[in-house]
Amino acid sequence: MDDVKQTDVIDADKAYQSVSDLLKGTYGVYATLSNNTRMYYGSVLADEVKLSDENRGQGQGEYKWQFTATGVSFGFGQYFQTIDRLHRVLEVADNIPAANATEENTKKRIKAELLAIRGVAYLELLTVFMPQGYQPDSLGVPLVLSSALLGKPARSKVSEVMTRIEADLASGRAEALIPSAPTDPLRLSQGAIAAYQARAALLKRDWAKAAAYADEAIALSGKSLSRATYTAYFSDANESETIFKYRNGAAPQLNWRDANGDVFFEPADKVKNLFDRTNDIRFSTFFGADGGDTSIIIKYPGSERGPQTNDLKLIRLAEMYLIKAEASAEGENLTAAADAINALRAARITGYTNVTFADKATAINQILVERAKELCFEGFRFFDLKRRGLAVNRNPSDSRNTNWQDLPANSFRFALPIPQSEIFANPNVRQNAGYN
């Protein structure tokens, strides 16, 4: 007997019947790219925050490194949803007729964007779930290249996933219909894709490519570092340094505090002590509240769309200067490294005097400190320590208990667990060591 098709099932050939439908599907892919989860874990697992006296248990398991594979997802399902959604669009795109040359160009751009987004999604997954440092032959994540909800792929090697990331991002860069500058920062531009290429090269420790891609991202962005617009920038009042962003309908401040004002996490003393509190505009932009209480994180203070609602800056110009600095220093080009750091600091610190780096070790140390300052509470710190093979070391005033003051560099905790629900659904996926 022939299979009876359920009446409530919408096949792809019905869901996508026009180029306009393809574009809507593409927007649905973009809707999955929030980095709010990474922002949270990148801070809580690292040395950026400390427990508040008002914390009622929120995030304490993660803060104390007591998380398990059954308790948190760390974005695993999110980015595989991204990948499945984009495959559903890609698999029908060639069968959708274009009414004219404009629609044909729209299709070409969509396909290139979606391949680049796949590269972005796999880069996010690899960053979270691979081991500390860059170990090419260790386990990465499953590579899925089509929509296959019942598929059971095993985890691919880190090097294999990186090869896919590089190829997908290169496909996006190869399509001239993707604009160079982020005229619409809610969609990928050539500058944004170059920025992700820089991130991937930095993770891979391909220093020459990381520096070159960072340079390309800076040039293509059409943006410049600005002190004058900086505070308002985090209130979404301008796009002065945005290369790519996510239109957020939620409240990133709720990572750190309740809607009623209760504070779950305060900024760590270790982070606040890095800043020149008088001359560095970042200190008053990141910390404070009415009455000058610097125990509150205010980096995302809200916008005209709501008191706690902000767009999430997925790629900022400042990060590219920091990648250029780190990659240049690793490549023994200390002049280029100093130039990049000086440009960033001069746009943040009143009366700043340029520095030079006498040696590579000094340069790397200062660059990592600058990353800790500029990118705090944006999801980088834990993963910066992870890729550099460094420990998490909290100040005693930030940890309360020596049991959660230090996470050794060789801890299995740096490779976050594959959610146990995924292991149950796909027995071919091996769990990261330490969580079985």
Return the amino acid letter for 323: I
- Exposed (0-12), middle (13-18) or buried (19+): which is 3, by Cβ within 10 Å? exposed
Structure tokens at 379: 């999801």
Q: At what angle do helices 360-374 and 381-388 cross, to 10 degrees?
A: 160
* Band (291; pLDDT cuts 50, 70, 90): low
Write the pLDDT tens digit of every residue in 166-219.
999 999 999 999 999 999 999 999 999 999 999 999 999 999 999 999 999 999
What pLDDT shows up at residue 394? 98
Q: Over 50: is that where the pLDDT of 402 sits?
A: yes
145 in helix, strand or coil? coil
11-51+60-178+409-427 is classed in which CATH architecture? Alpha Horseshoe (1.25)
The residue extents of the domains of the chain are 11-51+60-178+409-427, 187-248+274-296+312-390
Q: Is 431 helix (H, G, I), strand (E, B) or coil?
A: coil
- Does the structure show a pLDDT above 60 at 7? no
Beta bridge pairs of residue 244? 315
* CATH of region 187-248+274-296+312-390, choose from 1.25.40.390, 3.30.70.100, 3.40.50.2000, 3.40.50.720: 1.25.40.390
DSSP 3-state assignment of 130? coil
Residues in contact with 416: Cβ distance below 8 Å, sequence separation at least 6, in sequence order = 41, 74, 128, 129, 432
**Contact by Cβ (8 Å): 30, 187:** yes
pLDDT digits (tens, 9 = 90+) for 130-163: 999 999 999 999 999 999 888 999 999 999 999 9
pLDDT score at 13? 64
Contact in structure between 381 and 375 (CB atoms under 8 Å):
yes
Q: Are 265 and 55 in contact (CB under 8 A)?
A: yes
Length, in residues, of the chain: 436
1 has pLDDT over 70: no
